[in-house]
Amino acid sequence: MRVAQGRDSVLLAVKPTQAQAPAVGVNVLVVYHSVTGNTEKMAHGITEGARSVAGANVVLKRVGEVVADDLLASDAVIVGSPVYFASMSGEVKTFFDNWSLKFGLFRELKMRNKVGGAFVTGAAISNGKEVTMQAIHAAMLVNQMSIVSGGGAFGASATTGPDSPGIDEKALESARALGKRVAEFAAVTKRGSRT
């Protein structure tokens, strides 16, 4: 039996029926862009958190490596970006643009009902991390995905500038919490979508 630790485990503590539900296989796709390695470290934390959920199959890819089938095969997608000038990097935005331009996912809403989450890294506090997570969420909502937070009010985030400790244990804990949260919620929606 799982022991609830911290806010992100409250669900399991207060809604035991959900924790006891039989494991269902969920495919979680973790996608990121990273230049300095910070967002990549967070992506590994996300992956670790998602893998801690029974039945979760987690795929980790850089934005440029993702193909349409990766997205189609997923039950949940967690997208991570560095914050450049208070929004997602051009590469991450191009990845989303490709959902329409290249992957043909938008017109028939092929991503509908998949679960989405966001994580970010930025050099300073309050320098655009929140609005970048909101922008990732917005792209997902337009595709009629459902959104959950985890590891923070909007998602997982880390401050990586000279004044900060970089990707420390606290940031990784936030990342793992988001990964776990998204995988758990994807399991709920997958079970609930079965006849």
In the complex, the residues that contact a copy of itself under the rule CB under 8 A are: 7, 10-11, 14-15, 17-18, 20-22, 84-91, 93-94, 96-97, 99-100, 106, 108-109, 112-113, 115, 124-131, 133-135, 137-139, 141-144, 146-150, 152-154, 157, 159, 185, 187-195
DSSP letter at 182 equals H
Q: Which is nearer to a copy of itself, 58 or 148 (CB)?
A: 148
Question: Of 9, 13, 16, which is closest to residue 150 (Cα–Cα)?
Answer: 9
Give min distance, CB of 122 to a copy of itself, in A.
9
Q: Which is nearer to a copy of itself, 50 or 115 (CB)?
A: 115
Question: How many C-beta atoms surround the C-beta of residue 109 within 10 A?
Answer: 12
Residues 6+ positions from 64 with CB-CB distance below 8 Å? 91, 95
Residue 117 exposed, middle or buried by CB count within 10 Å (0-12, 13-18, 19+) = buried
> Which residues are paired to 76 by β-bridges?
28, 115
Give min distance, CB of 60 to a copy of itself, in A.
22
Q: Which is nearer to a copy of itself, 26 or 60 (CB)?
A: 26
Give min distance, CB of 82 to a copy of itself, in A.
10
